[in-house]
Chain A
Amino acid sequence: QVQLQESGPGLVKPSQTLSLTCTVSSGSIISADYSWSWIRQTAGKGLEWIGRIYSSGSATYNPSLKSRVTLSVDTSKNQFSLKLTSVTATDTAVYYCARDRPLGGATDYWGQGTLVTVSS
């Protein structure tokens, strides 16, 4: 079954850019149907969807974060990535990468999550 693993720095300074990569294994990231998402979780705001990307490179973002988020995909490495600019302490969260079923389906595979702390 598909496995996802997040990687990236666990500590980012305020105003800098948070960068995470998700590596997909036991399955191809190339799909016309499935999409690949980033979701974050904080104690205060709960689960928050950040955005999704297809292997074609087509991406959709949460309007609340759109001005600061960029998703990208590297099909040769079976990876997709998240960049979040101008971070503040409120961006401190556990970040998950995940796979979404097509046509408004459920998120059926998740990475284990990675804690990113924004602090100087």
Chain B
Amino acid sequence: DIQMTQSPSSLSASVGDRVTITCRASQSINTYLNWYQQKIGKAPKVLIYAADGLQSEVPSRFSGSGSGTEFTLTISSLQPEDFATYYCQQTYSTPPTFGGGTKVEIK
């Protein structure tokens, strides 16, 4: 299985901050990388698909980049509703695998 490693595992930030989360794959996955946001008690919600595609109705402050083994999710200006846990997922090979998550908390 391809291992997905996210960093940091948690971070504290203030409203308006720029936030960057990194995801590394144990082997090249081209751009088969998706990002999800999960709030407590809810299912994950896709934000970014294919490394840099913005899902419909997701605010433009979210962006993704990268290819191969290293990827980033950036929130350009953190909003109160963005406090959540974020996961990356590779769909390059079966089984699809997820990163361990990054919890974004209020500073």
Footprint of B on A, CB under 8 Å? 46-49, 60, 62-64, 96, 98, 100-101, 104-108, 110-113
B84 at the binding interface (Cβ < 8 Å): no
B-side interface mostly? loop
B19 at the binding interface (Cβ < 8 Å): no
Known A60-B94, A104-B91; contact A113-B43, beta-carbon cutoff 8 A = yes
Known A112-B43, A113-B43; contact A49-B55, beta-carbon cutoff 8 A = no
A60 CA to B97 CA, complexed, in Å: 14
User: Is there an interface contact between B49 and A49, defined as CB atoms closer than 8 Å?
Assistant: no
User: Is there an interface contact between A110 and B43, defined as CB atoms closer than 8 Å?
Assistant: yes
Question: Which partner residue on chain A sits nearest B87 by CB separation?
Answer: A47
Besides A49-B95, A106-B50, A107-B34, 19 new A-B residue pairs in contact (Cβ under 8 A), listed by A number: A46-B99, A46-B100, A49-B97, A63-B1, A64-B95, A96-B44, A100-B91, A104-B32, A104-B91, A105-B49, A106-B34, A106-B46, A106-B49, A106-B89, A107-B89, A108-B55, A110-B43, A110-B44, A111-B43
Count contacts between A and B, CB distance < 8 Å: 54
Q: With a CB–CB cut-off of 8 A, which chain B residues contact A113?
A: 43
Interface residues on B, range: 20 to 34
Question: Which partner residue on chain B sits nearest A110 by CB separation?
Answer: B43
A116 CA to B5 CA, complexed, in Å: 27
In-complex Cβ contact of A47 among B32, B44, B50, B55 (8 A): B44
Question: Which partner residue on chain A sits nearest B97 by CB separation?
Answer: A49
Q: With a CB–CB cut-off of 8 A, which chain B residues contact A104?
A: 32, 91-92
Known A46-B100, A46-B101, A47-B44; contact A105-B95, beta-carbon cutoff 8 A = no
